[in-house]
Amino acid sequence: MLYEFLDRNRDALLARCREKVAKRPARRPTEQELKYGIPLFLDQLIEALRVQESAGPAEAGKVSFALSATRPTPSPTEIGRTAARHGNELLRTGFTLDQVVHDYGDLCQAATEMAVEQGATVTADEFRLLNGCLDEAIADAITEFGRQRDQLMSDEMTRNMNERLGYFAHELRNLITNAILAVATIKKGSVGLSGATGALLDRALIGLRDLVDRALVEVRLTGGIAERRERINVAQFIGDVQVATALEATARNLEFIVAPIEDGLVIEGD
């Protein structure tokens, strides 16, 4: 019987699995993985095969790939839950999806090799159940691995977003506070817009504009917003820029000069 063969060679099978894992160009398995993942799956597989043998050929198709095959209501199988936890642990210790699949493939290969070496006989029903258990374990391990990976990525993105929002809010509060203080002082009538207080207000407003501009650029770069390229008349564009820039230059006691631009000059931009 296959379950007797697996039970009798349990330690040798696990040792062979460890050898196969060690030969792969990947991270070494953790102690938790060696004690929990594949060993527990092997024990559940042996028990499932034993249940099939005791149920008889007529009941073979009704045997679940779990220890709790007679549950009246559908629920995740023991093998599925074990594999899901195994996939979760592998993700948290830095393994890849390919390594998750190979973990279970190693056991199947080790069992097949040892059965051939010892001349063990495997019936069609036993082989079908073995493949079914492996399919279920791999599917649940991959599902949980992917779910946890997506959750970790989502959590990381949330943390990064919170950090950026925190920085943005902090800078925004400082600039608004400076602008409010400057306006409050000017409203008292003791100072004018051309003095140091007016300069403080100018810097606060310019800082607010720059802060918003940087935020908009970051949103476009990280949000995957598609480019919207269009034809732009250079003379008209520079004329619009000159109005706002000349005001800022005057506030800094500078002169903003624009060279003549050829009529009809057009560029393409986003």
Q: What average pLDDT does range 231-239 have in this prediction?
A: 82
pLDDT digit string, tens, across residues 3-57: 788 888 888 888 888 787 777 665 555 555 555 557 766 776 777 677 666 665 4
**Predicted local distance difference test score (pLDDT) of residue 84:** 60
Angle between helices 124-187 and 31-55 (to 10 degrees): 140
Model-level pTM?
A: 0.43
How, if at all, do strands 266-269 and 230-233 pair?
A: antiparallel
According to DSSP, residue 40 is labeled: H
The full set of domains in the chain, from first to last, is 2-155 (1.10.490), 227-270 (no CATH)
**Predicted local distance difference test score (pLDDT) of residue 69:** 38
Q: Could you give the 3-state DSSP secondary structure of residue 23?
A: helix
pLDDT digit string, tens, across residues 51-90: 666 665 444 444 443 333 333 333 345 555 655 665 566 5
**Predicted local distance difference test score (pLDDT) of residue 178:** 85
| CB neighbour class for 245 (10 Å; exposed up to 12, middle 13-18, buried from 19) | middle
